A = this chain, B = another copy of it.
């Protein structure tokens, strides 16, 4: 970290109810109890690590109010109501200090079409390209080298990181956060097989990203064949995820890294997919469906399903089958013994 705080400053930020110990050191980093060293802040976020506190040499430790024990020399204990909440509050403060929101305005190296409307409180960073008819809303930040295609629309308070491409006519809601290298609005993958060749089906739809969505680095979201590919409010998408054309994702879903969703599939609200899971086309995952990493889902699921494996089956059944699968050598032996036994008994 490029910031430094005194224990007193941290006590104020986290709202400490009590302080013991003294130090002249400043805090420059955060680490777990097991790894922290002088100059670090650590925290007792989970009671099961309580025994690690006496051996921890962090300069400041956030502790629950009921923690009994004395700090080392040159160490400060800060007692708070909830160390995890206190840490989150501190981290949010550090985040603002590390990466303050850039000033409003358009960098002179950006290439901005005359017909684009950029809110005066928005920031368009260096070497961005903004095509005709684009709208960028209040307080939004296009950090650097962002491409926004014609007639695309970016809401308020969005943060678009370097190298992102938002293709023509796509739209972002408010407070959308796109990590570097995200592609919104690439063509859907659609062809007709005609006389031995794949003829392209025009992809003239668009992509709608609703409020408070976050998309991870280098993920790709294709535009619809027609109408809209949609990512619902509050949904969070990790890195290198593929969302195909005409997919509709509900609200508050979680898609872990390298997930792939095939075309025209619907995810209802609160779906959670583990890393590298794959979902077939033209199906619906019912509300709250959960699937483990690398799961392959080819059929519509009931709300609340919890699945694993390829092909996806209920989680507990899949685990039971895995155990039986690993007992196959034993089963083959048992059948062989039975065959010999039957042979003998029938002689």
Chain A positions within 8 Å of B, measured between CB atoms, are 1-2, 29-32, 35, 88, 91-92, 94-95, 98-99, 107, 109, 111, 125-127, 129, 133, 144-145, 147, 149-151, 161-163, 165, 167-169, 177, 179-181, 183, 186-187, 189, 191-192, 196-198, 200-206, 212, 214, 216-218, 220, 222, 225-227, 234, 236, 238-240, 242, 244, 252, 254, 256-258, 260, 262, 275-276, 278, 280, 293-294, 296, 298, 309-311, 313, 317, 320-322, 324-329, 331-332, 334-335, 338-339, 341-342, 345-346
Tell me whether B278 and A278 are in contact (CB under 8 A).
no
A127-B129, A260-B258 are contacts. A169–B98 as well, Cβ < 8 Å?
yes
Tell me whether A262 and B275 are in contact (CB under 8 A).
yes
- In the bound complex, CA of A238 to CA of B93 (Å): 36
Chain B min CB distance to A260 (Å): 5
Tell me whether A181 and B181 are in contact (CB under 8 A).
yes
- In the bound complex, CA of A206 to CA of B332 (Å): 52
Q: Which residues from chain B contact A177 at a C-beta distance below 8 Å?
A: 187, 200
Q: Which residues from chain B contact A322 at a C-beta distance below 8 Å?
A: 311
- In the bound complex, CA of A129 to CA of B181 (Å): 15
A162-B129, A198-B252 are contacts. A220–B187 as well, Cβ < 8 Å?
no
- In the bound complex, CA of A329 to CA of B91 (Å): 50
Copies of this chain in its oligomeric complex: 3
Tell me whether A293 and B294 are in contact (CB under 8 A).
no
- In the bound complex, CA of A276 to CA of B241 (Å): 11
- Nearest B residue to A324, CB-CB: B328
Q: Which residues from chain B contact A129 at a C-beta distance below 8 Å?
A: 125-127, 144-145, 162
Q: Which residues from chain B contact A225 at a C-beta distance below 8 Å?
A: 91
- In the bound complex, CA of A346 to CA of B125 (Å): 85
Chain B min CB distance to A193 (Å): 9
A-B contact pairs, 13 of them (CB 8 A): A30-B205, A147-B163, A163-B165, A165-B217, A186-B217, A189-B236, A191-B236, A240-B240, A311-B322, A313-B326, A324-B329, A327-B332, A342-B342
Q: Which residues from chain B contact A222 at a C-beta distance below 8 Å?
A: 217, 239
Tell me whether A198 and B111 are in contact (CB under 8 A).
no
**Secondary structure of the A side of the interface?**
loop
Q: Which residues from chain B contact A88 at a C-beta distance below 8 Å?
A: 192, 201-202
Partner of A214, one of B29, B200, B313: B200
Tell me whether A332 and B329 are in contact (CB under 8 A).
no
- In the bound complex, CA of A98 to CA of B131 (Å): 13
Q: Which residues from chain B contact A109 at a C-beta distance below 8 Å?
A: 111
Tell me whether B325 and A99 are in contact (CB under 8 A).
no
8 smallest CB-CB distances across A and B, nearest first, come from: A186-B217, A30-B226, A147-B162, A91-B202, A165-B180, A217-B220, A111-B126, A183-B217
Q: Which residues from chain B contact A196 at a C-beta distance below 8 Å?
A: 252
Tell me whether B216 and A218 are in contact (CB under 8 A).
no
Chain B min CB distance to A270 (Å): 8
Tell me whether B169 and A1 are in contact (CB under 8 A).
yes
Tell me whether B161 and A163 are in contact (CB under 8 A).
no
A109-B111, A240-B242, A341-B346 are contacts. A183–B179 as well, Cβ < 8 Å?
yes
A196-B252, A332-B331 are contacts. A29–B227 as well, Cβ < 8 Å?
yes
Q: Which residues from chain B contact A32 at a C-beta distance below 8 Å?
A: 227
Chain B min CB distance to A58 (Å): 12
